[in-house]
């Protein structure tokens, strides 16, 4: 059954954040934990740790410390929507998050979106407000089974580290 849900997790960033990674909308597990990529099957934390050749953070405090260390800001494109469980394909009635507070008080130079759903809603609702084109990375969701862990990590590493050098 579809529920109207308002995004419960605040954006994570600080004045030193240089890249912003946006998902579409938090899963049921992430909403329960009140932090990003809380489902144990989601490969986000393993992928991002591998990109930066760091240990995989396992607790929310460790995840926050990891993000600060690597100057990563995180949030989601969607601020509220009608959704069934965690199903991106069920999303309707979207209101986008306002990224101006993050962009205005950090050093964000690049925005990445985690998957095609985040890209779709970013282009539809957000890109014209930020004036920043987002780079779409293949989704770390376990539903994206076409991408092996190795292939996913290599793609993310190339995209993120290439941007850091420019």
For 12-41, what is the mean pLDDT?
96
For residues 92 and 2, is the Cβ–Cβ distance under 8 A? yes
For 69-97, what is the mean pLDDT?
96
Q: Domain spans of the chain?
A: 3-165
Q: Could you please state the CATH topology (level 3) that the domain comprising 3-165 is classified under.
A: Uracil-DNA Glycosylase, subunit E (3.40.470)
Work out the mean pLDDT of the chain and round it to a whole number: 95
**Residue 11, CB-side half-sphere exposure with 13 Å CA sphere:** 26
pLDDT class of 166 with cuts at 50, 70, 90: very low
For residues 115 and 145, is the Cβ–Cβ distance under 8 A? no
Decide if pLDDT at 163 tops 80.
no
DSSP helix/strand/coil, 21: strand
For 14-34, what is the mean pLDDT?
96
Interatomic CA distance for residues 113 and 134, integer angstroms: 6
Q: pLDDT per residue over 44-55, tens digit each?
A: 999 999 999 999
Q: Are strands 92-96 and 110-114 parallel, antiparallel or unpaired?
A: unpaired
Q: What is the pLDDT of residue 35?
A: 98
For residues 129 and 153, is the Cβ–Cβ distance under 8 A? no
Interatomic CA distance for residues 81 and 24, integer angstroms: 10
């Amino acid at each position: 059954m579809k529920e109207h849900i308002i995004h419960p997790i605040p954006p994570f960033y600080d004045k030193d954040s240089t890249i912003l990674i946006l998902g579409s909308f938090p899963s049921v597990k992430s909403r329960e934990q009140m932090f990003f990529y809380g489902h144990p099957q989601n490969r986000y934390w393993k992928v991002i740790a591998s990109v930066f050749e760091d240990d995989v953070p396992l607790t929310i405090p460790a995840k926050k410390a990891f993000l600060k260390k690597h100057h990563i800001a995180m949030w989601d494109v969607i601020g509220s929507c009608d959704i069934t469980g965690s199903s991106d394909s069920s999303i309707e009635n979207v209101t986008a998050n306002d990224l101006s507070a993050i962009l205005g008080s950090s050093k964000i130079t690049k925005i990445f979106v985690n998957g095609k759903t985040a890209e779709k809603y970013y282009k539809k609702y957000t890109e014209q407000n930020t004036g920043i084109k987002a780079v779409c990375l293949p989704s770390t969701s376990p539903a994206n089974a076409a991408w092996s862990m190795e292939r996913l990590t290599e793609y993310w590493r190339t995209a993120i580290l290439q941007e850091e050098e420019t």
